Amino acid sequence: MFFEAERQNFFRPLNGKRRELVVACLRALYDRLHGPSADYSQNLTRDALKDLLAPTVQELINDVVADSVADDGELAGLDYADDQQLTNALIRALLKDGWLETFGDRAGLVTAYRFTRAGKLFAEALWSLDRLRARSRQRNVRSCRNALEAARKNIDAYDLIDAYDYAEKIISDLSEGVDYFQELVRRLMSEASNTPWEEFVDFLDRFEKEFKKQLTADNVERHRQAIRDNLNRLRSLDSDKFNAFEYQLRDIANWADQERGELPIFDWLLDRIEDRVEIACTTKHPELIKAMNIYMRRAASIVQQALMLQGGQRLQPRHRPGGYAGRQRTE
C-alpha cells in the first residue's frame, strides 16, 4: 500500500543520475524544517525553498554519476548547466512523487511547502546518516523542544508524536553515555598494568566532538524550562484546538490506548514527555556527570603514575666501570 496513490513513484528521485544532488537537497531541507536550529516562525514559501536549495544545486550541478541509469520524470531531458531550471525541476519532482506537499499559510496568505509524513521520515534517515560522525550527543533535547513548538503553532499531531519520540530518546542518549564511561573504568581496572594512552586519546577526541556540546549547547538542563513552557502552553489550548489534536491522535497514535487508561491521548503524551525530561534532568544527567568524573580521576591517576615512573627511569644513574667510585679509589 505504500506505493499507491501519491507514493506510487516515491523513490524515483533517488534512482537517477542526479540522486546525489536530490539527497543533498533533502538533507538541507530537513535541516531547515526540522533540524536543531529549525525556524518554526516562518513557513517555507516557494521563493524561500528555491533560495534554500540553490546553493546545494550550484555546488553539485557538475557531479553527475557516471553510470547507465537514465533520469526519469521531471529531471529527464534538462539542461543541467542551468541551475535555476534544475532547482525548479527538483521541486516539481519532490512534489509529484510524494516527498513534499503544499499547504495554505494563513498568516501570509501564500502557499507554503513542507514534507509529507513519508517524506519527512525518509529525509530524517538521510540527514541522520550524514551526521553520524559529527553529530552532537543529546541532539534529541533540542529536537524535542522544537517539535513541541511546532505542534503548538501548527496544531499538528505528527509534531507532537515526534516530540514524544525525541523525549524517549533523551533517556537512551544519556544512558549510552553512562555505559560508555563505566566500560572505560572497567577496562582501566582490568588492565591496570598498561597505561591506557590510546583509550584516553580516543576519549579526548570524542569529548571534543560529542560530550563537550552535550554539556553546553545541548545540555538537558538548559532546555528544560523551554520544554516546560511549551508543555504548559499546549495544556492551555482552547477546546477546539484540543479536540483537533485528540481527533488526529486517535487515528495515528492508537498504540497509546494500552497505557493511557482514562486520560485523553493528548494529555497522556504531554505527561509522558514531561516525565522523560524530568527523569533526564534529575537522574540520568547527574549519572553521566558522575560516571565521567570517576573515569577522569582514575585515568588521570594512572597516567600520572606512568609519567612519574618514566621520569624516574630517565633520572636513575647508570653504573659504569671506571666511574666516580673508581676515580676516587685511584686518587
Closest residue by Cα to residue 114 from 192, 59, 186, 45: 45
Q: What is the pLDDT of residues 275-328, one digit of tens each?
A: 999 998 999 889 989 988 998 888 888 777 777 777 666 655 555 555 444 444
pLDDT at site 319: 52
At 296 the pLDDT is 85
> What is the grid cell recorded at 280?
533526564
Closest-CA residue to 45 (of 135, 93, 94, 112) = 112
Compare 309 and 85 and report the one with higher pLDDT: 85
Q: Are 187 and 199 in contact (CB under 8 A)?
A: yes
In the chain, what are the domain boundaries?
7-131, 133-316
Q: What is the pLDDT of residues 163-203, one digit of tens each?
A: 998 898 888 888 888 888 888 888 777 765 566 667 777 77
Asked if 115 and 100 touch (Cβ cutoff 8 Å), the reply is: yes
Q: Looking at residue 254, what is its pLDDT? A: 80
Task: Please name which of 53, 31, 218 lies closest in space to residue 127, comparing C-alpha atoms.
Answer: 31
Question: Which residues make beta-bridge pairs with 111?
Answer: 104
The full DSSP string for 69-103 is: PPP-GGGTT--TT-HHHHHHHHHHHHHHTTSEEEE
Residues 229-246 pLDDT 10s: 999 999 999 999 999 999
Q: What is the pLDDT of residues 24-77, one digit of tens each?
A: 999 999 988 877 667 767 788 899 999 999 888 888 776 654 444 455 556 655
DSSP reduced 3-state for 110: strand
* 105-112: average pLDDT: 72
- Amino acid identity of 220? V
pLDDT at 109: 73
Average the pLDDT over 154-163 and give the result: 90
Q: Give the pLDDT confidence score for residue 85 in this predicted structure.
A: 85
C-alpha torsion sign, points 184, 185, 190, 196: positive
Q: How far is CA 176 from CA 133, 136, 169, 200, 287, in A?
A: 16, 13, 10, 18, 11
pLDDT of residue 78: 55
Using the predicted structure, report yes or no on whether residue 96 has a pLDDT greater than 80.
yes
Q: What pLDDT, on a 0 to 100 scale, did the predictor assign at position 318?
A: 55
- For Cα atoms 272, 143, 295, give the angle at the middle one, nearest 5 degrees: 85
Classify 7-131 by CATH class: mainly alpha
Residue 273 pLDDT class (50, 70, 90 cuts): very high
Split at pLDDT 50, 70, 90, the class of 228 is very high
Q: What is the pLDDT of residue 25?
A: 93
Which pLDDT score, from 0 to 100, does residue 194 have?
A: 64
Across the chain, how many H-helices and E-strands are there? 14, 3
The predicted structure's pLDDT at residue 11: 92
CA distance 182 to 188: 10
Instruction: Report which of residues 197 and 133 the model is more confident about.
Output: 197
Q: Is the overall model pTM greater than 0.95, yes or no?
A: no
Judged against a pLDDT cut of 70, whether residue 7 lies above it is answered with yes
The length of the chain is: 331
Q: Is the dihedral of CA 289, 292, 293, 294 positive or negative?
A: positive
